[in-house]
Structure 1
Amino acid sequence: MKNKIGTKENPMLLQTPPLSSEYTMHVDEKDGKEILVCTVGKTVLHYNIDAIKDLHTMLKKHGDWMELGSADEQKPAKDVTVEAWGRSESNPVGGWYGMKKGLRGRFGMYMPPLMEKLGLAEVTHEAKGNKMRAI
């Protein structure tokens, strides 16, 4: 997985679901564990690397399109969305997949394009209200 997603020196270039912004994603280590590092302009977010397999598993079980529902950490996530699942106490990590306090949200914005690029999901690319489903 690490080589597919890239390194700090050679990160994977992605676009947000509406195709309005570019950002990068790569795998790095923090406290001896692999994490996903998402860089959006000068903002750096960290996500638990288990998000990839856990999100894929959840979407497979869901079996249909799911709204992304991206929201900043400080805003509530819409129910039954990828964002809500990414912060839910009932997900496999028991809460946030985002690891940097204050920047734990936007799971529904930055994880779906990674999943699409890895061949694990389909993502719609509308101006608003995008959805994803497992492949």
Structure 2
Amino acid sequence: MPLGAADERKPVAEGTVEASGRSASNPVGGWYGTRGGYRGQLGMCLPPLGEALGLAEVTHDARNNRMRAI
């Protein structure tokens, strides 16, 4: 799954980590991305956390990184 870190004022690409954070169907009701100042933090911070906890594999390329749940 692509990470898709995007500014909260811009539309996010479907099928990305960022899109799942902004979705109304997620457990917290899609509040992420509706408040100012977050600017793509879910797409940037959640994958390394998942990797550190052993829950995800993350590519470490210069651009277009992806993650996969384990």
TM-score by length of 2: 0.84
Larger Rg over CA atoms: 1
Distance (whole Å) between structure 2 residues aligned to residue 88 and residue 104 of structure 1:
15
Deviations 1:91-135 (A, max 9, x none): 121103468x21234211111111111111000111111110111
Asked if 1:119 corresponds to 2:54, the answer is yes
Which residue does the alignment assign to 1:69?
Answer: 4
Which residue does the alignment assign to 1:128?
Answer: 63
Q: Structure 1: which 4+ aligned runs deviate by more than 2 Å? A: 96-99
Cα RMSD (Å) of the superposition? Answer: 1.7
TM-score by length of 1: 0.47
Unaligned runs of 5+ in 2: none
Q: Per residue, is there more strand in 1 or in 2?
A: 1
Bigger relative contact order, structure 1 or 2, given CA contacts below 8 A and separation 6+?
Answer: 2
Unaligned runs of 5+ in 1: 1-65
Equivalent position SS for 2:22: coil
Asked if 1:95 corresponds to 2:2, the answer is no
Instruction: Answer yes or no: is the 8 Å Cα contact 1:83–1:105 preserved in 2.
Output: no
- Letter of the 1:116 counterpart: E
Would you say how many aligned residue pairs link Structure 1 and Structure 2?
Answer: 69
Asked if 1:104 corresponds to 2:38, the answer is yes
